[in-house]
Copies of this chain bind each other. A is one copy, B any other.
Amino acid sequence: METIGHYLDQMRSASPLVHNITNFVAMNSMANVLLSAGASPAMVHSVEEVEDFAAISNALTVNIGTLEPAWVDAMCIAAKQMNSQSKPWVFDPVGVGATQYRQQTSKQLLALKPTVIRGNASEIMALAGLESSAQGVDGRDSVESAVEAARNLARQLGSVVAVTGPTDVVTDGERIVEIPHGSHYMSRVTTLGCSLNGVIAAFCVGQPSYEATVAAIAYYGIAGETAHNKCQGPGSFWVEFVDALASLSGDDVTSRSQVKL
């Protein structure tokens, strides 16, 4: 594996166009995260244009946070377009344990074999069909308890699976790595998980998806640590975090990364 910073530098030099079909809560934050990181975001969701737009994008993210039937159709169309062009796409099963509708939708999307799946422990366990104490969109299961589910899911689908929480874990079914970066404020600011999907997708453009996912999450967590040290609370954390995503260089990230591959 190259250094973590190498993957960041490559992403920035490509400045990929990331097409996002995400929830209403996340759209603005996610766009700012992607711009600060160095990618180019776009949010496009209608069936009238989603296939055309996916065709000119470099990567896609799909997030079921605020679902509607027409949006589900669009998600499937866009994901198929990415598959047909061998471009990466990231699936975030937000609150999948909460309703039957999310479970049905997630099944449809899993059948399209996402390049990367990212969720909290409860969501990954729900996806894997394991018992879970999922409440709404917050995860109440520990990352550790979801590791086995993640590994099974990764093997079954050929996807990279990332379980995020106090510690993040990434697996491709064979390899597995812990990423010990981040800040507790990251769960006190809305849609930081959703926004991470976009960063992962951007890193995956032209780079191997397992390494790219690990590098994206490490970079994101290190930016969180920078922000943690400067902020006074969740409001200023967000401001510092967006600044840190832009200011951190590839070398900064490499030297601070504690990821062991």
Write the residues of chain A forming the contact surface with B, with a CB cutoff of 8 angstroms: 17, 19, 23-29, 31-32, 35-36, 40-46, 48-49, 52-53, 56-57, 65-70, 95, 98-102, 135-138, 187-191, 231-236, 238-244, 246-247
Contact of B235 with A238 in the complex, beta carbons under 8 Å:
yes
- A48 to B31, alpha carbons, bound, how many Å? 28
Contact B46 A101 (CB under 8 A): yes
Can you give 12 contacting A-B residue pairs, CB < 8 Å? A32-B190, A35-B190, A36-B188, A40-B135, A42-B98, A44-B95, A45-B68, A46-B68, A46-B101, A48-B68, A49-B102, A234-B246
Which listed residue (B31, B53, B99) contacts A53, Cβ 8 A?
A: B99
Given A236-B243, A238-B242, 9 new contacts (CB under 8 A): A23-B43, A25-B28, A28-B190, A32-B189, A35-B189, A42-B136, A49-B67, A232-B247, A233-B242
Instruction: Please state if B246 and A240 are interface contacts (CB–CB under 8 Å).
Output: no
Q: Taking chain A's interface residues, is the majority helix, strand, or loop, or is none over half, making it mixed? A: mixed
Question: What are the residues of chain B within 8 A of A26 when measuring CB–CB?
Answer: 28
Within 8 Å CB of A17, what residues of B?
135-136, 138
Using known A-B contacts A69-B46, A98-B53, determine if residue A31 contacts B191 with beta carbons closer than 8 Å.
yes
- A139 to chain B: closest CB distance in Å? 11
**Cα distance, A239 to B189, chains bound together (Å):** 12
- Top 3 nearest A-B pairs (CB, nearest first) are A235-B242, A233-B243, A31-B190
Q: How far is the CA of A43 from the CA of B189 in the complex (A)?
A: 15
A99 to B: closest C-beta gap in Å: 4
Among A44, A56, A189, A231, the one with the most B-chain Cβ atoms within 10 Å of its Cβ is A44
Contacts of A244 in B (CB 8 A): 233
Known pairs A27-B24, A99-B49, A100-B49; A241 contacts B234 (CB<8 A): no
Contact (Cβ within 8 A) A45 B31: no
Of the candidates B43, B57, B137, B235, the one whose C-beta lies within 8 Å of that of A25 is B43
- What B residues does A28 contact at CB under 8 A? 25-29, 190-191
List residues of chain B with CB within 8 A of the CB of A65.
43
Determine whether the beta carbon of B247 is less than 8 Å from that of A42.
Answer: no
